[in-house]
């Protein structure tokens, strides 16, 4: 910021200097252009010399005007850059998806992250603000190990490659959260915009117990488990419709072990368990941004601008 102040002071000084020089040059040009006493007996060489002398002040004025214009552009650029965050170009906003949708949970902005090496940035407390109306919303915290409607929040600390979905509306599970390899189960009987990734571990790939001492019965249960789609649970109605030959041990396993909680318990220690996507919700219902001619800035903790979108 100190360098920017020095640049601004230098530019102001140059404006004053050019302003002082501009007036006498202009007056000289006016005097020369209004001089009608030139003798008709002047030689052609004399006239050419005289004309050259008259045009020099005008050319200098034009040069000064151009220089002032250039300096003004430089000054404006330096002022604009002085408002930029150190994370400018590292955290980028997408345009608003579902803008002005009647369902606030369908309106969201994506943040993409491009940091250096092991660089991290805490965005909890950053905010989005309309440069036109002044309306703003603050980015909050999130659950790193989410369970529906369980409020255990931590700051959102981003690393290179992370993604963020900032949703205007409300969370289908009541909280903001970081995804993991099991959160695809949240999509069952709920709707997220955009949809959550359904990359849960396949139930058939888990270490399965022996369901029956009879090979055919044991194999029958394994085949049922193989038909269960990823990130999908099976309830009592499904279990009642299974053949009578299916053992109670098999039914109990399907009901109690093929679900989100069991997935977390089995895979929490896996290196690929944490996801790289955060789902953050502003819990707003009414309009936030103008329908048109809007400019939205993303500000960091120091109120500096990280990124801007306009429409």
Is 60 exceeded by the pLDDT of residue 188?
Answer: yes
Same domain, 48 and 110: no
Same domain, 128 and 65: no
- Over residues 262-286, the mean pLDDT reads 97
- Over residues 31-38, the mean pLDDT reads 49
Domain end: 29, 54, 82, which one?
Answer: 82
How many domains are there within the chain?
A: 2
Domain end: 82, 108, 136, which one?
Answer: 82
Same domain, 103 and 169: yes
CB 79, CB 72: distance < 8 Å? no
Same domain, 151 and 21: no
pLDDT at 60: 75
Domain end: 82, 108, 140, which one?
Answer: 82
50 in a domain, yes or no? yes
Is 50 exceeded by the pLDDT of residue 20?
Answer: no
229 in a domain, yes or no? no
Same domain, 166 and 290: yes
CA atoms within 13 A on the CB side of 100: 6
Backbone angles phi, psi at 272, to 5 degrees: -95, 15
Same domain, 27 and 107: no
User: Which of residues 94 and 79 earns the better pLDDT score?
Assistant: 94
Q: Report the 10 Å Cβ neighbour count for 133.
A: 14
CATH number at residue 280: 2.60.40
Same domain, 166 and 98: yes
Same domain, 54 and 30: yes
Of the pLDDT bands very low, low, confident and very high (cuts 50, 70, 90), residue 38 is very low
Same domain, 134 and 175: yes
121 in a domain, yes or no? yes
- Over residues 218-232, the mean pLDDT reads 97
pTM here is 0.75
Cα gap 204→216, rounded to integer Å: 17
Sheet holding 163-167, edge to edge: 91-93, 108-113, 163-167, 274-281, 177-180, 142-143, 153-154
Domain that holds residue 29: 2-82
């Amino acid at each position: 910021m100190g360098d920017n102040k020095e640049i601004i002071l230098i530019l102001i000084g140059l404006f004053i200097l050019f302003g002082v020089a501009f007036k006498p040059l202009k007056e000289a040009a006016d005097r020369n252009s209004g001089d009608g006493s030139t003798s008709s007996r002047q030689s052609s060489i004399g006239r050419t010399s005289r004309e050259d002398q008259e045009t020099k002040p005008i050319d200098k004025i034009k040069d000064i005007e151009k220089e002032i214009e250039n300096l003004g552009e430089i000054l404006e650029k330096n002022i604009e850059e002085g408002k930029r965050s150190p994370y400018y170009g590292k955290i980028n906003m997408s345009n608003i998806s579902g803008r002005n949708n009647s369902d606030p949970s369908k309106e969201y902005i994506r943040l993409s992250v491009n940091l250096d090496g092991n660089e991290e940035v805490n965005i909890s407390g950053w905010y989005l603000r309309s440069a036109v109306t002044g309306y703003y919303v603050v980015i909050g915290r999130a659950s790193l190990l989410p369970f529906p409607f369980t409020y255990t929040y931590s700051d959102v600390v981003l690393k290179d490659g992370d993604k963020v979905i900032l949703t205007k509306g409300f969370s289908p599970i009541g909280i903001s959260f970081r995804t993991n390899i099991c959160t695809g189960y949240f999509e069952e009987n709920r709707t997220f915009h955009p949809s959550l990734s359904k990359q849960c571990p396949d139930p058939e790939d888990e270490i399965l117990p022996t369901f029956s001492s009879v090979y055919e019965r044991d194999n029958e249960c394994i085949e049922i488990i193989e038909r269960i789609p990823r990130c999908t649970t099976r309830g009592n109605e499904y279990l009642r419709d299974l053949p009578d030959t299916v053992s109670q041990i098999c039914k109990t396993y399907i009901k109690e072990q093929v679900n989100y909680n069991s997935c977390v318990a089995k895979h929490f220690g896996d290196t690929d368990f944490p996801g790289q996507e955060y789902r953050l919700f502003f819990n707003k219902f009414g309009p936030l941004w103008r329908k048109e001619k809007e400019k939205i800035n993303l500000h960091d903790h120091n109120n500096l601008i990280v990124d801007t979108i306009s429409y």
